[in-house]
Amino acid sequence: MDRRIHELRSLVANQIAAGEVVERPASLVKELLENSLDAGARNIRVTTEQGGVKRVVVRDNGSGIHPDDLRLALAPHATSKITSADDLLGVASLGFRGEALASMASVARVRITSRPADADAGQAIEVEGGLERSFGPAAHPPGTTVEVTDLFFNTPARRKFLKTERTEQSHVDQVLRRIALGHFDVGFELLQSGRATLALPAGRPEERLARVLSPEFVARSVAVDEVRGELRLHGWVGLPTHSRSQADQQYFFVNGRVVRDKLVAHAIRQAFRDVLFHGRHPVFALYLQLPPGGVDVNVHPTKHEVRFRDARAVHDFIFGNLNRALRLVRPDSAPPPVAAEPGVRAAADPTPRQNPLAWADARVSGAPGGFVELVARQDRGEPPAGWVRDRHGPASPAPGSADLPPLGFALGQLHGVYILAQNADGLVVVDMHAAHERVTYERLKAQLAEASVPRQRLLVPLVLDVAEADADVAEEAAEALAVVGLVLDRSGLSSVTVREVPALLSGGDVGELARDVLADCRELGTSDRLAERQERLLATMACHGSVRANRALTLAEMNALLRDMERTDNAGQCNHGRPTYLVRSMADLDALFLRGQ
């Protein structure tokens, strides 16, 4: 082999560069949409065939390309957007690397037809595997159409990495949604395999949010708009009650560009920390604007990462504003979890069979089915069977009484978050939600182990608007979901109908439950994996069925939960591994008050 250095043929060089920007049809769509937006288009239509593998067409009514520049548009490192490296510092356009079209032309057949507004006719160029095939006049209204056909026809190795048509379609759909959320003033249309799958008219933010995220998001979110100096943050954040089990509906834009940034993610997570249960993810569409010089977007070819010049200020600005916005919504937001400190004994992982917690007494356990059923019944408006007589719970025996169950009897509720109880040792503090979640989860697991999770048919089936990808998932995963107690079917392109839910959870928010489970399924992928990960689905469901903070409980309900915990495996920690309760003994308390010292 000749080991001397030689320059790569430009086709090969472009194919290598293409590896960075063209990974699948969705990346073509992203680059082409960005070009159309940079050209000031007001309407953009995207058409795909075979998920875009066969064909992607993006047509816009933007400024068009001068006929003399048409060849250049396809040449590597040819751009109209910057001229010098200094321009990079203030770049306001989405593109600037001048690579996208050249890269596409090296791995697919590309045809561009374009007509600037002031020209009488259009001009077309066709390139295949980097070679020009035709060039000449062509009819076109003002604007540009780019057609990319047979992606990777000359690089079969890369073609193998493409997934099924449906998967590629769903990626295209996601890209379009993401970009559409960043440009409310532009109308978008998507046609996949001859079907109009998304139509987003310009200028109606709420309607777009409802279509791209969900109608619930619009109803259950707060608008934010804050300015400090040259920074502006505006947009919408979902209320903590509209959280999801996946971080799949989080959109953050920096100067109109979709960005996934660690610093930004951290600031948002911090802002939600106190109001969101562990393991839940907020939903948001947020827009940060700052002078172009304050952010470097040339960090990665796909430009998903950015670098802020004053990272600290940006972080604090985002955190501070969201934190304040969320506090206004929930002034009595839950305090951070109690940290185990000296003198506080965390009751970690009691194993009931060799643990006093296994103690359970029918006399004090209240409703026959325990707390979980009780809450479900009350949410359904049914009388709490067996509870009327005992409404205020058993009287609390004196401390030290040998008759007390391990977790004792409830004294009351603290700020809607903790149950305070008195047991033989002293004070028991229970994280109500975490404990209930664990009890529900263990019960669902036990039901599944026996056969399948018992289901409750909804009197009125619930029709949900969901993303098309979620409706696909509902269709594919229907059988696996029925086993864990959720029966739903696809009832439209982007809607599903929920028919039955796990009986234990029928009192909760069925819509939210179904959405989160679908989001889980989408992340888990194939139904094989769903079967393996049933427990994860149960955990997601349990989180929903569980009492939220700020729900007032009667003493009887609190006692029922304590009894349920005593009967439940792993009751000492919630599904996420946090403790569900702490005990502070009389001796610990005496020491705190310097009693007897």
* Contact residues for Mg ion, defined by CB under 5 A: 35, 95, 100
Question: 85: which DSSP letter?
Answer: G
Among ligand ADP, Mg ion, none, the one that 533 touches (CB under a kind-dependent 5 to 8 A) is none
Nearer to ligand ADP, 125 or 367 (CB): 125
Among ligand ADP, Mg ion, none, the one that 268 touches (CB under a kind-dependent 5 to 8 A) is none
Smallest distance from ligand ADP to CB 45, Å: 12
- What tokens does 153 get? 């026809």
Among Mg ion, ligand ADP, none, the one that 327 touches (CB under a kind-dependent 5 to 8 A) is none
Smallest distance from ligand ADP to CB 26, Å: 16
Among ligand ADP, Mg ion, none, the one that 81 touches (CB under a kind-dependent 5 to 8 A) is ligand ADP
Smallest distance from ligand ADP to CB 113, Å: 10
3-state secondary structure labels for all residues of 375-406: HHHHHCCCCCCCCCCCCCCCCCCCCCCCCCCC
Tell me how far apart the alpha carbons of residues 514 and 507 are, in angstroms, rounded to a whole number: 13
Among ligand ADP, Mg ion, none, the one that 192 touches (CB under a kind-dependent 5 to 8 A) is none
Query: Which residues pair with residue 419 across a beta bridge?
Result: 413, 430
Smallest distance from ligand ADP to CB 27, Å: 12
* Residue 595 CB neighbour total at 10 angstroms: 10
Q: Which helix (H) or strand (E) holds 488?
A: strand 487-492
Cα-based torsion angle of the residue sequence 85, 86, 89, 95 in order, rounded to the nearest 10 degrees = -40
CA–centroid distance for 342 within its chain = 38
Tell me how far apart the alpha carbons of residues 522 and 347 are, in angstroms, rounded to a whole number: 36
Nearer to Mg ion, 34 or 500 (CB): 34
Among ligand ADP, Mg ion, none, the one that 39 touches (CB under a kind-dependent 5 to 8 A) is ligand ADP
**In sequence order, which residues have a C-beta less than 8 Å from that of residue 395 and are 6 or more positions away?**
none
Smallest distance from ligand ADP to CB 177, Å: 20
Among Mg ion, ligand ADP, none, the one that 65 touches (CB under a kind-dependent 5 to 8 A) is ligand ADP
**In sequence order, which residues have a C-beta less than 8 Å from that of residue 592 and are 6 or more positions away?**
343
Among Mg ion, ligand ADP, none, the one that 512 touches (CB under a kind-dependent 5 to 8 A) is none
- What tokens does 146 get? 């780019």
Residue 318, SS3 per DSSP: helix
Smallest distance from ligand ADP to CB 569, Å: 58
Among Mg ion, ligand ADP, none, the one that 558 touches (CB under a kind-dependent 5 to 8 A) is none
- Residue 552's Cβ-count burial label (10 Å; 0-12, 13-18, 19+) is exposed
Closest CA relative to residue 398, chosen from 413, 408, 412, 390 = 408
DSSP string, 8-27: PPHHHHHHHHHHHH-SSHHH
Nearer to Mg ion, 35 or 50 (CB): 35
Nearer to Mg ion, 95 or 116 (CB): 95
- State the Cα angle at 79 between 84 and 22, rounded to 5°: 120
Nearer to ligand ADP, 81 or 166 (CB): 81
Nearer to ligand ADP, 45 or 377 (CB): 45
Nearer to ligand ADP, 100 or 488 (CB): 100
Q: Using DSSP bridges, classify how beta strands 231-238 and 221-228 pair: parallel, antiparallel or unpaired.
A: antiparallel
Give the footprint of ligand ADP on this chain (CB under 6 A): 31, 35-36, 39, 60, 62-65, 73, 78-81, 95-102, 144
Q: Which helix (H) or strand (E) holds 146?
A: strand 143-149
Smallest distance from ligand ADP to CB 41, Å: 7
Nearer to ligand ADP, 103 or 250 (CB): 103
Q: What angle in degrees, to the nearest 10, is found between the helix axes of 510-524 and 534-545?
A: 160
Among Mg ion, ligand ADP, none, the one that 97 touches (CB under a kind-dependent 5 to 8 A) is ligand ADP
Smallest distance from ligand ADP to CB 128, Å: 17
Nearer to ligand ADP, 2 or 120 (CB): 120
Smallest distance from ligand ADP to CB 455, Å: 52
Nearer to Mg ion, 100 or 264 (CB): 100
Instruction: Give the residue at shortest CB distance from Mg ion.
Output: 95
Nearer to Mg ion, 23 or 379 (CB): 23
**In sequence order, which residues have a C-beta less than 8 Å from that of residue 74 and are 6 or more positions away?**
101, 102, 105, 110, 112, 125, 127
Smallest distance from ligand ADP to CB 257, Å: 13
Tell me how far apart the alpha carbons of residues 119 and 382 are, in angstroms, rounded to a whole number: 73
Instruction: Give the residue at shortest CB distance from ligand ADP.
Output: 95
Smallest distance from ligand ADP to CB 80, Å: 3
**In sequence order, which residues have a C-beta less than 8 Å from that of residue 525 and are 6 or more positions away?**
none
Smallest distance from Mg ion to CB 34, Å: 5
Nearer to ligand ADP, 105 or 453 (CB): 105
- 280 in Cβ contact with 243 (< 8 Å): yes
* Residue 475 CB neighbour total at 10 angstroms: 12
Among ligand ADP, Mg ion, none, the one that 514 touches (CB under a kind-dependent 5 to 8 A) is none
Among Mg ion, ligand ADP, none, the one that 524 touches (CB under a kind-dependent 5 to 8 A) is none
